[in-house]
Amino acid sequence: MTVADRLRRAIEWLQAHGSEANREGMARYAIPSTNTLGVSMTAIRALAKQLGRDHELASALWETGLHEARMLATFIADPAQLSSEEMDDWCASFNNWAICDSTCLHLFHRTAHASNKICEWSRSNEEFVKRAAFALIWSMSVHQKAAPDEPFLQHLELIEREAGDARNFVKKAVNMALRAIGKRSRRLNEAATATALRLADSNDPTRRWIGKHALRELTNPAVQQRFRRRLLR
């Protein structure tokens, strides 16, 4: 079956599983209603499982501009085939937090280019490109469990550098990344807590919000107890 045929069948499936109620619900969570079919993530995941890895189809789905088609692409694209240029193109077209986070969480962090993109995108003037840098840090913190501490210590420097960006979807991603790093290990928790304390003591309201919000989780007794249990194993 050609890519065009596979694309047509996938789009028809998505159209059949969309609903106006879902579209309205997505709009309430700041997901634009244009180019949106109203397909649930449960349904998208089910279709992705049926399709399996198909990078050609993923690229074609992304080109449609449909929100759910792009969501599906994040699950079936092959991270080994995704080029640095393609990552930049996809990232530049992000128009909401959901597609940004899903692409980082399910695809981008698995590529060989992820670390370089964090550095590049963290300096972007585009809100969702910059968010992607910190969504990538969060994704790597969660999924790359065997990774050493050192790269995440460097990410803390990026977090502190960019914590003054008051744009809503950037500051929330910076906070998300800081909290995720601080839950990886005792060492990183101490480093992330120190970063959060400096931010919380800032005169800048955005830095202060990020720091105080992160401290509540980083110093939470449940998080600390988890580290103690690991030492006893």
The CA-atom distances, in angstroms, between 92 and each of 95, 99, 107, 115 are 9, 12, 16, 17
CA-based nearest residue to 74, from 57, 95, 88, 97: 57
The string of pLDDT tens digits covering residues 133-143 is: 999 999 999 99
Alpha helices by DSSP H, listed for 184-220, are 186-200, 205-218
- Which residues, 6+ apart, have CB-to-CB distance to 164 below 8 Å? 204, 206, 207
pLDDT at res. 30: 87
What does the DSSP assignment read for 113-175? THHHHHHHHTT-SSHHHHHHHHHHHHHHHHH-TTS-SHHHHHHHHHHHHHTT---HHHHHHHH
For 58, residues 6+ apart whose C-beta sits below 8 A from its C-beta are: 72, 73, 74, 76, 77, 78
Q: What is the pLDDT of residue 32?
A: 83
Residue type, 96: N
Residue stretches of the chain with pLDDT short of 70:
231-233
Give this prediction's pTM. 0.92
State the greatest distance between any 2 C-alpha atoms of the chain, in Å, as a whole number. 60
Dist CA 149 CA 188 (whole Å): 7
pLDDT at residue 225, rounded to an integer = 81
The residue behind tokens 């244009």 is: 34
Determine the pLDDT at residue 21.
Answer: 92
Mapping DSSP to helix (H, G, I), strand (E, B) and coil, where does residue 177 land? helix
Reported as a single tens digit per residue, the pLDDT across 78-105 is 999 999 999 999 999 999 999 999 999 9
| pLDDT score for 229 | 72
105: left (phi over 0), alpha (psi -120 to 50) or beta: alpha
Hunting for tokens 């349904």 — which residue is that? Answer: 43
59-19-66 Cα angle (round to 5): 20
> Which pLDDT score, from 0 to 100, does residue 231 have?
62
